Amino acid sequence: MWTETRQGRVAVARFNRPPMNYFTDADIDQLERLVGDWAQPGIGAVVLAGGLPGKFITHFDVDAILRKQEQPEGPIEAPVRSRRFHAMIRTLNELPKPVIAALNGDAMGGGFELALGCDVRIGELGDYRYGLPEVRLGIVPGGGGLTRLSRLIGPGRALLLGLSARVLDPEEAHRAGLVEQLAPDAVAAAIELATRIADLTPSAVAMAKRIVYQTAGLPLSVALDAELESAYRAKQSPDAAAPMREYLELPLTERRAWLDQ
């Protein structure tokens, strides 16, 4: 159900499962394989988007969740689906390149959990809904949604949304900090951002992403040491010299414009 296209060094993956874009175990399988492909050097950034009008990933297939309740996994292997989903999201986080969610439609439950696992979320202006409504269905998020949401917007607001099962329209989500950017066309905005980042020095992009994820939640002194090590690696990378030389070759009066591109 995932179809991938390339725009330069940007991989664009669209999810298309008619009629409602509900997420299933098979879609996790396919996405796991795609994530492995995206590690190759020829790709500089990734965009995830919905392939049906008005739908990013609506939510996980509730029928499949109910079947697991009626025919539960054994106590040793359970919960298989959630563990696989968590592992796949961690692999996205470990990619040395950005993964941008273009929320061009409804993104709730498991769909929004996938978006929360991406590096950046771009919402689209329109009559769409984002959030974690699981409690309304008598369950709670199992794909890391509340944990990631609390780190993104703080425990108080995460509890407010999670306990009330509220879903937000894109403008409300932007004000609440659930999405970093709003655009009339989320996919176009995501591709533009992905292209900009993909044109930058790969080692610097990789180390910047590593700093953010590896230092989250660490004591300040430990986090600063981790940042120092990543900064050193970026400076020593062979591909760092070319952009620094390009900058230094400019007249002093032109350097700010170069940085402001």
Catalytic one among 4, 32, 77, 113?
113
> Which of 44, 60, 57, 59 lies closest to 12, judged by CA?
44
For residue 188, the tally of other CB atoms under 10 A from its CB is 15
Question: Do 162 and 149 form a contact (C-beta atoms < 8 A)?
Answer: yes
Q: Is 45 helix (H, G, I), strand (E, B) or coil?
A: strand
4 is catalytic: no
Catalytic residue from among 134, 172, 192, 246: 134
Euclidean distance between the first and final Cα of the chain, in Å? 37
Distances (CA, A) of 257 to 194, 197, 219, 253, 254: 21, 18, 37, 8, 6
Token pair of 24 as six digits: 């299933």
* CA pair distance 43, 207, nearest whole angstrom: 16
* Residue 192 appears among annotated catalytic residues: no
Query: To which residue do tokens 């202006």 refer?
Result: 125
- Residues 6 or more apart whose CB falls under 8 angstroms from that of 62 comprise 22, 137
Active site residues: 113, 134
